[in-house]
């Protein structure tokens, strides 16, 4: 029996014209966005309305936010890299880390360790981060075992629906356990003090900003070394490239996936403590917006790339902190700081339009080739 191959249908004039119109519209939209950014930035800077100290504060705050976004984004990008799915429950894992740090801080404050000098406060923060990372990891592993592993070979849409369901389950389970109210972190006195070191004190940095940025960078370096230098990291990278081939070579695919979920959750839990100490409050809904922004950071840097998630987190944090003032204020829009979310996601759209693969996507893909 012969199989007749049908010739490929060439696009009609209408389809060609429509595609051309869409391309023209996209280019016009790009040009308009660039002009708005350039004009707004020029008007803001030329007005001289903001002092140098203000810009330094915005940059530091952007670095703090960016470090937290990057830590959470690493969980998104690692899971996507190994399972090709978006774990939308990751924001709730982050929220559970914030709550775990809060309850640990309450206990440490009650027994008098939280504010027992600089060493006592540092020890308390390390304990809080360890507890939050552990609890977040346990919850993430339970979600992986119940909601993801049985569906591993299902279509991606099924995994996506399961992830959304797990997200709502965790969110409203926490609400049922602790209530819908806002919980305020105990104040750590030493974190509010300015750093006494010469260079840092000149910038007006406080200890909480230094600890947030330093901890985020340290954890990113540790994760990068784990993935690139350890035996398990090699297994994770192998499974990410080709599950079937990795299994044939003796790699335990399930163990690699579970480790990926655990490491990503531990990073999110520790980031939750940094978030809670910096912003000072938490509620059951807290993980949703930061989780979406962390996912944005992962896409911005190049989804599936660990360095990309790191870069994307800091870029998004700075864009959110500086962009609303730098771009919007010069255009005469009242309360530009309230539009920081709009600026962050607009910059994401611009990057995806000009560079859809993300900031580091193409370079990393070429290096693999």
The total of structural domains in the chain comes to: 1
In a domain, 175, yes or no: yes
Mean pLDDT of 52-64: 86
CA angle 198, 200, 202 (to 5 degrees): 70
- Does residue 98 have a pLDDT over 60? yes
Residue 300 pLDDT level (bands cut at 50, 70, 90)? confident
Q: What is the pLDDT of residue 7?
A: 54
- 176 CB neighbour count, 10 Å cutoff: 10
In a domain, 253, yes or no: yes
In a domain, 183, yes or no: yes
Q: What is the pLDDT of residue 43?
A: 84
In a domain, 214, yes or no: yes
pLDDT in tens, 101-150: 999 999 999 998 988 888 889 999 999 999 999 999 999 999 999 988 88
In a domain, 309, yes or no: no
Backbone phi and psi for residue 204, each to the nearest 5 degrees, phi listed first: 75, 25
Residue 362 pLDDT level (bands cut at 50, 70, 90)? low
Prediction pTM value: 0.86
* DSSP-assigned letter for residue 282: E
Q: What is the pLDDT of residue 276?
A: 93
More confident residue, 3 or 17: 17
- Does residue 339 have a pLDDT over 80? no
pLDDT in tens, 146-176: 988 888 888 888 888 999 999 999 999 999 9
In a domain, 68, yes or no: yes
In a domain, 35, yes or no: no
In a domain, 327, yes or no: no
Residue 281 contacts residue 185 (beta carbons within 8 Å): yes
Q: What is the pLDDT of residue 301?
A: 87
What is each CA distance from 359 to 65, 224, 305, 315, 362, in whole angstroms?
A: 19, 18, 10, 10, 8
pLDDT in tens, 196-234: 777 766 677 888 888 898 999 999 899 989 988 999 989
Range of the domain at 190: 52-285
Exposed e or buried b per residue across 64-77, where buried means at least 16 C-beta atoms within 10 angstroms of its C-beta: bbbbbbbbbbbbbb
Residue 183 pLDDT level (bands cut at 50, 70, 90)? very high
């Amino acid at each position: 029996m012969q199989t007749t191959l049908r010739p490929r249908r060439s696009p009609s004039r209408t389809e060609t014209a429509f595609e051309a119109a869409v391309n023209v519209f996209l280019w016009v939209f790009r040009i308009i966005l660039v002009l708005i950014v350039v004009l707004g930035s020029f008007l803001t800077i030329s007005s001289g309305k903001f002092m140098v100290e203000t810009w330094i504060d915005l940059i530091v705050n952007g670095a703090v936010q960016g470090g937290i976004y990057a830590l959470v984004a690493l969980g998104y990008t690692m899971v996507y890299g190994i399972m090709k799915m978006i774990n939308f429950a990751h924001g709730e894992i982050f929220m559970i880390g914030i709550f775990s740090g809060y309850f640990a801080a309450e206990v440490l404050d009650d027994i008098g360790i939280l504010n027992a000098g600089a060493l006592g406060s540092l020890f308390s923060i390390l304990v809080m981060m360890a507890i939050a990372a552990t609890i977040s990891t346990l919850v993430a592993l339970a979600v992986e075992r119940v909601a993801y592993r049985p569906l591993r070979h299902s279509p991606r849409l099924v995994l996506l629906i399961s992830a959304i369901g797990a997200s709502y389950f965790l969110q409203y389970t926490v609400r049922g356990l602790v209530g819908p109210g806002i919980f305020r972190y105990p104040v750590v006195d030493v974190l509010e003090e300015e750093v006494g070191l010469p260079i840092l004190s000149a910038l007006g940095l406080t200890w909480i900003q230094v600890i947030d940025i330093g901890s985020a960078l340290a954890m990113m370096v540790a994760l990068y070394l784990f993935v690139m230098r350890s035996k398990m990291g090699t297994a994770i990278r192998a499974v990410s490239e080709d599950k079937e081939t990795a299994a044939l070579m003796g790699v335990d695919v399930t163990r690699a996936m579970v480790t990926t979920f655990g490491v990503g959750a531990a990073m999110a839990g520790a980031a939750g403590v940094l978030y809670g100490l910096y912003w000072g409050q938490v509620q059951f809904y807290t993980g949703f917006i930061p989780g979406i922004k962390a996912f944005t950071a992962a896409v911005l840097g190049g989804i599936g790339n660990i360095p990309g998630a790191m870069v994307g987190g800091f870029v998004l944090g700075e864009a959110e902190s500086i962009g609303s003032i730098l771009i919007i204020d010069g255009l005469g829009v009242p309360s530009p700081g309230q539009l920081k979310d709009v600026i962050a996601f607009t910059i994401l759209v611009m990057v995806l339009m000009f560079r859809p693969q993300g900031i580091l996507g193409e370079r990393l893909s070429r290096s693999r080739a």
